[in-house]
Amino acid sequence: MVRLYSVHPELRFAIKHIASSGAPWDTTAVVEWRDYAVMADGDRSYVNDGVHIIRLKWGKIVSLHPYLDTQKYAAALHRLAGTGFVEAAASPIED
């Protein structure tokens, strides 16, 4: 999370739709959203739309799958890296 907020000092989400189904022991939720980010260089033009599909068991998340325009995000990071912001070009964190 620390890298996310160093690249985007301001990040907010507008929820468009939420839907859920299933019992408390096996629930699927779908959240459609739009995010707005201020890049570390002050650029405020980044906007992206996406969906999260979330599986829950007794209110605890067991899987989360984000779907968004990753090419748009990669282009924004590439542009930011071109300004000399090293963290925008860092390798993905995988664990």
Query: Cβ distance 73 to 4 under 8 Å?
Result: no
The counts of H helices and E strands in the chain are: 2, 4
Q: How does pLDDT run along the chain (95 residues), one tens digit per residue?
A: 688 888 889 999 999 999 999 999 999 999 999 999 999 999 999 999 999 999 999 999 999 999 999 999 999 999 999 998 888 998 888 87
pLDDT given at position 5: 86
Q: Which domains does the chain have, with CATH numbers?
A: 2-69 (3.10.450.50)
pLDDT given at position 1: 64
Burial of residue 70 (CB within 10 Å: 0-12, 13-18, 19+) is exposed
pLDDT given at position 73: 92
